[in-house]
């Protein structure tokens, strides 16, 4: 099937780019230097490719991702890098066949994990604007977790505020300041893991001993301006022109087909005017007709993947298969 035969809107990945990105990251951060974050792609088939590239541990954002990887036989070492006090989900993860580690940052999250039978945790340190405890609380929380029967594997800190900064020197400064806090906390907590980072900081964060990058597999357009990023854009949204006006065209992929928190999608053959629920309005460089196909580039892959059931696989504009996006939801 040619790509233009897909019913639209259709999410697709350039398989050559996806495979190249995985191989390149495996060279940059081999083995357990990378703990891939599956929240980016939410697909066990892609996780298996990462596993085969040498990355046996995974970072997860939801219990659904943890349990889905466990069911797929990819539960060697799973880190839920978000706090939760949901007893049912914690118990399900504790009873799975996987090795599950939970991020905790308070007495409440520690107590909930211990009550559910979770065996291991990391102390989440606030190094930016996400979850986490203060550095001064880290030692106390680690002691409380150990008294509750949890093994404390180390510390986690996510420098999300630095992730999309274009200027390399400024990004490095922000990462260093955040990691100073994380290392101070690690001295109080102990353990083998100092985990954090992401695609945007994977090359400059030399303080953690494992990086939680995920977007590199298919890439966000937010990273295209960072000159130190070697990865290519690999995720696309195929759409059909359904209406023509004097100065713009309208295609059938709108807000419900793509994540918009990083702004409008990109289009290589013109400008994006705006997006509405079911449509995107385009200003084309060349005239379009109703029925023509256009290829949009979503700005943020994580929420875009979560909106689709299938990821179509394409080589040289031919659809060669598809993968179920099977780790969606919570």
pLDDT digits (tens, 9 = 90+) for 310-326: 999 999 999 999 999 99
**Both tokens assigned to 239:** 């759409």
Distance of CA 38 to the CA centre of its chain: 5
Burial of 307 (0-12, 13-18, 19+ CB in 10 A): middle
| Alpha-carbon gap, residue 233 to 217, rounded angstroms | 9
The per-residue pLDDT for 97 is 94
* Residue 15 contacts residue 46 (beta carbons within 8 Å): no
Token pair 């806090």 is at which residue?
181
| Alpha-carbon gap, residue 200 to 174, rounded angstroms | 12
Strand partners, 323: 311
- Please give the helix or strand (H or E) that residue 106 lies within, else none: none
Question: CA Rg, the chain, in Å?
Answer: 21
* Residue 78 contacts residue 118 (beta carbons within 8 Å): no
| Alpha-carbon gap, residue 314 to 104, rounded angstroms | 40
Token pair 């990251």 is at which residue?
25
| Alpha-carbon gap, residue 10 to 236, rounded angstroms | 8
**Which residue blocks in 72-157 are alpha helix, DSSP H?**
87-95, 107-116, 135-147
Task: Decide: helix, strand or coil at residue 135.
Answer: helix
Spans in the chain with pLDDT lower than 70: none
Structural domains of the chain sorted by starting position, each given as residue range(s) with its CATH number in brackets: 3-11+232-324 (2.40.37.20), 30-212 (3.20.20.10)
Q: 197 — alpha (psi -120 to 50), left (phi > 0) or beta? A: left
DSSP code for 259: B
Cis peptide bond prior to 114, omega within 30° of 0: no
| Alpha-carbon gap, residue 15 to 314, rounded angstroms | 6
**Both tokens assigned to 193:** 């893991």
Question: What pLDDT, in 10s, does the model give residues 73-123?
Answer: 999 999 999 999 999 999 999 999 999 999 999 999 999 999 999 999 999
The per-residue pLDDT for 224 is 83
The per-residue pLDDT for 130 is 87
* Residue 111 contacts residue 149 (beta carbons within 8 Å): no
**Both tokens assigned to 12:** 């697709």
């Amino acid at each position: 099937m040619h790509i233009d035969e897909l019913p639209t809107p259709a999410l697709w990945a350039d398989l050559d780019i996806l495979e190249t990105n995985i191989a390149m990251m495996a060279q940059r951060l081999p083995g357990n230097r990378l703990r891939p974050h599956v929240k980016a792609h939410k697909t066990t088939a892609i996780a298996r490719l990462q596993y085969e590239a040498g990355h046996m541990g995974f970072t997860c954002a939801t219990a659904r991702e943890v349990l889905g990887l466990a069911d797929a036989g990819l539960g060697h070492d799973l880190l839920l890098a978000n706090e939760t006090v949901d007893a049912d989900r914690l118990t399900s993860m504790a009873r799975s066949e996987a090795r599950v580690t939970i991020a905790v940052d308070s007495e409440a999250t520690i107590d909930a994990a211990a009550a559910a039978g979770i065996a291991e945790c990391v102390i989440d340190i606030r190094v930016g604007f996400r979850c986490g405890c203060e550095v001064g609380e880290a030692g106390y929380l680690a002691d409380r977790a150990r008294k509750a029967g949890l093994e404390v594997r180390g510390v986690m800190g996510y420098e999300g505020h630095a992730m999309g900064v274009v200027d390399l020197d400024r990004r490095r400064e922000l990462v260093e300041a955040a990691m100073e806090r994380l290392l101070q906390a690690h001295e109080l907590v102990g353990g083998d893991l100092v985990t954090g980072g992401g695609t945007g900081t994977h090359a400059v964060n030399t303080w953690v001993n494992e990086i939680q990058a995920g977007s590199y597999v298919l890439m966000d357009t937010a990273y295209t301006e960072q000159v130190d990023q070697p990865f290519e854009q690999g995720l696309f949204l195929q759409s059909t022109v359904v209406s023509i006006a004097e100065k713009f065209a309208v295609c059938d992929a709108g807000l419900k087909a793509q994540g918009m928190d990083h702004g409008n999608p990109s289009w290589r053959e013109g400008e994006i005017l705006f997006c509405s629920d079911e449509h995107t309005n385009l200003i084309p460089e060349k005239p379009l007709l109703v029925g023509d196909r256009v290829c949009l580039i979503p700005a943020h892959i994580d929420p875009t993947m979560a909106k689709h059931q299938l990821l179509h696989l394409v080589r040289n504009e031919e659809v060669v298969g598809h993968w179920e996006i099977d780790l969606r939801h919570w």
